Amino acid sequence: MFEASQLNIRNRKVERLWGLLFLVMTILLILPVLVILGVLIYKGGPILSIDFLFTEPKDGMTAGGIFPALVGTVWLVAVALLASVPVGVAAALYLSEYAPDNWLTRVINLAIINLAGVPSIVHALFGVGAFVLFFRFGTSILAASLTLAIMTLPVVIVATRESLQAVPQAFREACWNMGASRWQTIRHVVLPNSISGILTGVILEVSRTAGETAPIMFTGAAFFLPFLPQSVYDQTMAMSLHLFVISTQVPGVPEAMPFGVALVLISMVLVMNAVSIAFRMYLRGKKKW
C-alpha cells in the first residue's frame, strides 16, 4: 500500500511537470503573436481613421488611404476560395471515399505533398505562364486568384480528407444497409458531419491567400490604381503588395503608414477567421456524436 501511494505521488509530480512544460511551450508560441500585435497597434493605431480605410492613396502613396487595396484583397480571396474549395473538396472526396489503394492514388498523394512544398515564387511563375499567357487572362484578378487557388489546394484537400475520415465508418455502413448509394451516403451523412473540418481548411486558406505577395505581384496586382475593379478581368491593388511597396519602394512615407496597413491586413484576416470559426463551432455543436 505504501509503495503504491508513493508511486501515485511520483506520477502526479511527473504529470504536473509535463503540464507545466506544455504550458510554457504554449506561452512561447503565443507571446510572439502578442508582441507583434502590440507593436502594430502602438505604431499603426494612430493613423487608423475612416479616411484611411475608405479613401484612395494620394501624393505618390505617401498620403491618403488604402480602400482600393482593401477591396482588391477581398476580390482576390473570394475568387480564390470559389476556385479552390470545390476542387479541393472533390479531390478529397475521391481520395477518401472512392479511390482504391493503387499506384494512381499514391501518385496523387505524392503530387499533393509536392504541391504543398513548392515556393510561392514558383507558383507565381507558373501563374504567369499558365493563366496570364496560355489562357490569355492577362494580368487580372482571375489570373492572380487562380494562382493563389492552386497554391492553397493542398491545405483544403488535406483538411477535408482528414475531416471525412473522422466520420465513423458505422455511419456509412448503416446507410448502405438501408439501401442508400455511396453518393447518397456522402451527400446526406458524410459531408454534413465533416463540414466543420472542411471549414478549418478554408480558414487556413484565407489566412495564406490574403498575405501572399509574390504570386499576385506577377499575375494581377497593380502598383497603384486609383479606381476599384469592375470584374475579374481587371487588375487590382492588394494589401500585401501595397504594404511591400510603401515599405520599400516609396520614399517619404510616414512611419505609421506601413504599420497601419499591416494592422488592417491582420485585422481583416482575423475577422474572416473569426466568422469561419464561429460558423464551424455552430455546426460542430449540432453533431450528435
CA distance 35 to 231: 39
Note whether 214 and 120 are same-domain residues. Answer: yes
Residue span of the structural domain in which 135 resides: 50-285
Note whether 144 and 38 are same-domain residues. Answer: no
What's the per-residue H, E or C state across 87-106? HHHHHHHHHHHHCCCCHHHH
Least Cα distance to 198 among 168, 167, 156, 152 occurs for 156
Residue whose grid cell is 496597413: 261
Note whether 138 and 85 are same-domain residues. Answer: yes
Note whether 231 and 133 are same-domain residues. Answer: yes
Note whether 21 and 116 are same-domain residues. Answer: no
Q: Would you write out the chain's pLDDT as a tens digit for each of its 289 residues? A: 555 577 778 888 888 999 899 999 999 989 998 999 999 999 998 999 899 999 999 888 888 889 999 999 999 999 999 999 999 999 999 988 888 888 888 888 888 888 888 888 999 999 999 999 999 999 999 999 999 999 999 989 988 998 888 888 888 888 888 888 888 888 888 888 888 788 888 887 888 888 888 899 989 888 888 788 889 999 999 999 999 999 888 888 888 999 999 999 998 888 887 887 787 777 767 665 5
The enclosing domain of 71 has a CATH number of 1.10.3720.10
Note whether 36 and 56 are same-domain residues. Answer: no
User: Which set of grid coordinates corresponds to residue 80?
Assistant: 480564390
Note whether 250 and 142 are same-domain residues. Answer: yes
* DSSP result, 2-66: HHHHHHHHHHHHHHHHHHHHHHHHHHHHHHHHHHHHHHHHHHHGGG--HHHHHS-EETTTTEE--
Note whether 142 and 28 are same-domain residues. Answer: no
**Total domain count, the chain:** 2
Contact 121, 49 (CB under 8 A): no
Note whether 147 and 211 are same-domain residues. Answer: yes
Note whether 269 and 168 are same-domain residues. Answer: yes
Note whether 33 and 112 are same-domain residues. Answer: no
Note whether 175 and 201 are same-domain residues. Answer: yes
Residue whose grid cell is 475531416: 163
